[in-house]
């Protein structure tokens, strides 16, 4: 069973989606530790409710913050680290230590709309299609090799929040699926690309109408 460590800064609905996918056996994994840079992040409360070790790690000193995360993850035997709404940029030191077993979810179709509030960026740019991306983290933010993407239609009457809500539901599908593919050993990083080895698909059992999923979902 894959041991997963999660980094989260906020309300933790992506964390919840991972926990739920583990509990309903959609993925052969277990969240063994959740770390936040925000003491009152609801993600920590979600972890506690599920009996998962929850850690607030002060981030005023970046190096100490990251060394503590590394120490916590190592002590729990974390095999895959997941950024689930973790709003800090991890240093090259951390990325080097975890590269290849550190993934992230971004609420846009990278490389479009990197950085914060990608949903608002997309809406204000006027795109008609946006979506979400999972990727391995590398030394540049929102830049590493892409695992899965899913495209979501922007509606004429969308607000930032209505669009974010629609994307979030799809994030809750592709992030657990990315963990599932990792656990199955089906992700092979080849330079800038991620090759997904053949196997099952979630399309039949867990997909929304009007959403276009990349190969491998």
Shortest spacing between CB 36 and ligand GRF, in angstroms: 10
133 binds ligand GRF (CB under 6 A): no
168 binds ligand GRF (CB under 6 A): yes
Residue choice 34, 54, 84, 150 for contact with ligand GRF (CB under 6 A):
84
Identify whether 172 is a catalytic site residue.
no
* Catalytic pick among 65, 106, 135, 172: 106
- Give the Cα separation of 141 and 53 in Å (integer): 27
The CB-nearest residue to ligand GRF is 85
Site for ligand GRF, residues 96 to 125, rule: CB under 6 A: 105-107
145 binds ligand GRF (CB under 6 A): no
Interaction mask 3-22, ligand GRF, x per CB under 6 A: -----x-xxxxx--------
The residues that touch ligand GRF, with contacts defined as CB under 6 A, are 8, 10-14, 84-85, 105-107, 168, 171
Q: Which residues are catalytic?
A: 106
């Amino acid at each position: 069973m894959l041991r997963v460590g999660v980094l989260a800064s906020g309300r933790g609905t992506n964390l919840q989606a991972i926990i739920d996918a583990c509990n309903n056996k959609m993925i052969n994994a277990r969240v063994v530790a959740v770390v936040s840079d925000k003491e009152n992040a609801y993600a920590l409360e979600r972890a506690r409710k599920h009996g998962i070790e929850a850690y607030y790690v002060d981030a005023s000193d970046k190096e100490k913050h990251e060394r503590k995360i590394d120490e916590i993850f190592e002590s729990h035997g974390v095999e895959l680290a997941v950024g689930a709404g973790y709003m800090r940029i991890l240093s090259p030191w951390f990325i080097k230590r975890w590269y290849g077993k550190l993934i992230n979810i971004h609420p846009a179709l990278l490389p479009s709309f990197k950085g914060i509030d990608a949903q608002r960026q997309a809406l204000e740019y006027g795109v008609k299609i946006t979506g979400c991306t999972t990727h391995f983290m590398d030394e540049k933010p929102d830049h590493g090799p892409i695992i899965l993407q899913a495209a979501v239609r922007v509606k004429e009457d969308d607000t930032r929040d209505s669009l974010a809500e629609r994307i979030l539901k799809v994030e809750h599908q592709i992030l657990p699926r990315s963990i599932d593919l990792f656990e199955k050993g089906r992700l092979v990083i080849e330079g800038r690309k991620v090759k997904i080895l053949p196997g099952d698909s979630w399309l039949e059992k867990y997909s929304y109408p009007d959403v276009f999923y990349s190969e491998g979902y």
